[in-house]
Amino acid sequence: MPTQTLVTYEVADVRTTGGPAASYARITLDGPRRNALSAALLDQLGAALDRAAHDDVRAVVLAANGPAFCSGADLTEALADGMASAARRLADVLRALLALPRPVVARVHGPVRAGGIGLVAACDVAISTDAVTYAFTEARLGLAPSVISLAVLPRMTPRAASRTFLSGAPFPAAEAARHGLVTSAVPADRLDAEVADVLAGLAAGDPQGLAATKALLNADALARFDRHVDDAVATSAALFASEPARAAMERLLSR
C-alpha cells in the first residue's frame, strides 16, 4: 500500500525586484486531524528538512494546509503506541529546524496547539495571521510541554512562558508576538505578502553568510537543547503513559 503523503515539498523562485535570483523550499504539512504530529508526519517532515539542507535553496518556508497549522501530538497514536518514539522524533525535527543551514520562515495561517508551537518556535522567522490563536494545552491533559520547551523557552520571556504554559489558555497572535514567540502578526490578506517580503530580504544574503549567522544566533539554544533533550524525551514519554494523562486524552477524544 502506497505511503500517504503528509508533507509536501516544492521549490519556487523568490520574488524580488531587481535583486539576485534565488529559490526557496516550501514544506507544507498536509496530514489528518488538523496536522497532528503523528510518527509518519514527523518522519516525512524530517526527510523534507534534510532535503532542504542539501538543495540549492536560499531559505525554507514551513506552511500547512487545512483549517489549522498544527494541533500538536497525535493523541490517538499516543494512546495506542505511547509517546517515547514520537517524542524522540519531535525532538529530532525541532533540532533539525534549529540547525538547518538555511533560514526557516513559518507561515502560520491557522490555530496552533501544543507540539505545533514547538515547530513555530524552532523557525527563525514566524509570520502569523492576527486571527490565529495559540495554546500550550499540555497541563490541562496531565502533561507538560517538555520537548517543545527546548525550542520555545529561548524565544519567550520567562513570565510569558509561565503564564501560558501553566494556564493552557488560548492566546492571540498579537500576544504571541509580544511574547517573542512569533515575529509578527498580520491580517490574513497580508500573510503571503509579508512572507514574500521576508524571503526577498533573505535572498539578498550570501548562502555562507546566512548559514554562519543562523549558527551564531542558535548556538546557545542548540547547546541547551543537546544538554536537556534526553531528559525532556523521557519526561514526555512518562507523562503520556501516566493514568491521569491517558484518562484526560480519552475524555478529549470521546467528545
For every residue of 52-76, DSSP letters joined together read HHHSS-SEEEEEE-SS-SB--B-HH
Other beta carbons less than 10 A from residue 76's beta carbon: 14
What is the percent of the chain where pLDDT is above 90? 96
* Mean pLDDT, the chain, integer: 96
- Report, as an integer, the average pLDDT of 58-86: 96
| Confidence class for position 3, pLDDT limits 50, 70, 90 | confident
pLDDT at 227 over 60: yes
Specify the amino acid at residue 176: A
pLDDT at 1 over 80: no
| Confidence class for position 57, pLDDT limits 50, 70, 90 | very high
- Report, as an integer, the average pLDDT of 219-228: 98
Q: What's the Cα-to-Cα distance from 224 to each of 54, 78, 115, 250, rounded to whole Å?
A: 26, 27, 19, 34
pLDDT score at 2: 61
- Report, as an integer, the average pLDDT of 206-217: 97
pLDDT score at 21: 81
| Confidence class for position 185, pLDDT limits 50, 70, 90 | very high
- Report, as an integer, the average pLDDT of 159-184: 98
Q: Please tell me the distance from the alpha carbon of residue 105 to that of residue 118, in angstroms, as a whole number.
A: 14
Indicate the DSSP class of residue 4: P
What is the percent of the chain where pLDDT is above 70? 98
* Residue 210 half-sphere exposure toward CB, CA atoms < 13 A: 19
Task: Report yes or no on whether pTM surpasses 0.95.
Answer: yes
List phi, psi (to 5°) of 127.
-110, 125
Higher pLDDT, 19 or 3: 3
- Report, as an integer, the average pLDDT of 105-134: 98
86 with 38: CB under 8 angstroms?
Answer: yes
